[in-house]
Amino acid sequence: MLLILQRAFLLRVRTFAGWRDELRISESVLASRLKELLAHGIFTTAAYRNGRTRYEYRLTERGLDLWSLLVAIYSWERAWTDRPQPPLIHDICGNETRAYLACGVCREAMTARDTRTVRGPLATFARVGLPRQHRRTLASRTDFSGYCPDAMEILGDRWSTSVLAAAFLGSRRFGDFQAELGIAPSVLTDRLRRFVELGVFQLIGGHYRLTERGLAFFQVFAFLVTWAQRELPAPPGSELTITHHSCGSALTPVLLCTACGDTLERREVHFIT
């Protein structure tokens, strides 16, 4: 789903054929993903004519709110891999920027170490992230218009996202993850092994600890949690409450410009592709 959204934002893809040609996936798989995005109110359809009436997919306000998540993914990939990435320009100051996470209340730069998280009694890790995600093998494309491969693998499916969320909330041992997630041992073994290979976890004395690279992914986690809890509400008691230590406020993540310090807004940034 993230790849579909990425093309919609960056390349302004709106048609079934456009995503099919860009992503090189089967029509049945693409149709299923688009159906899910429509069902969750991220896309809506609009008719247009091209010989005969056809339909294009347009981002709703709920979908447009995901732009900050995609910029956070881009910023992490740019900071933690050596793959070339297109410049992101802040139109207000005219400078290239590397967006960074900050508290929307006090505007201080923020990392995972600057927060604490409290889970409601009914909270589950299924509440973290986008509606159903699916793991797949991707073609070897390294530019951002293709994908951000490391970040996309970390967010590869719901189990990967859930394992990462559990780590941010304190799970360290294999048994901790299994008890929290109810995940099959073989699936958990695969995800933990891959996270170690990606340099997101480090295995020390039977504990899987987030590396600096993994901790830096908190900026993506923050936007995932915030969007999911705002746009996909669940019963009371299901929330994750993330608090910023410095000001004591509930997390309101924003992205700031490294050049001028202003808040980055969707209509005020663009990629040079």
Q: Is 104 helix (H, G, I), strand (E, B) or coil?
A: coil
Q: Report the distance separating Cα 91 and Cα 191, nearest Å.
A: 39
User: Where does the chain show beta strands of DSSP type E?
Assistant: 43-50, 52-59, 88-90, 95-96, 100-103, 115-119, 201-204, 207-210, 240-244, 253-256, 269-271
C-alpha 236/C-alpha 253 separation (Å) is 22
Output the pTM of the full model.
Answer: 0.87
Domains plus CATH for the chain? 2-63 (1.10.10.10), 67-268 (1.10.10.10)
Print pLDDT tens along the chain (273 aa): 888 998 999 889 999 999 999 998 899 999 999 999 999 999 999 998 766 778 899 999 999 999 999 999 999 999 999 888 889 999 999 999 999 999 999 999 999 999 999 888 877 765 565 655 545 444 444 444 456 888 988 887 889 999 999 999 999 999 999 999 999 999 999 999 999 999 999 999 999 999 999 999 999 999 999 998 888 877 888 888 999 999 999 999 999 999 999 999 999 999 987
As a whole number of angstroms, the distance between CA 62 and CA 156 comes to: 22
Give the type of residue at 48. Answer: Y
Cβ(116)–Cβ(247) below 8 Å: no
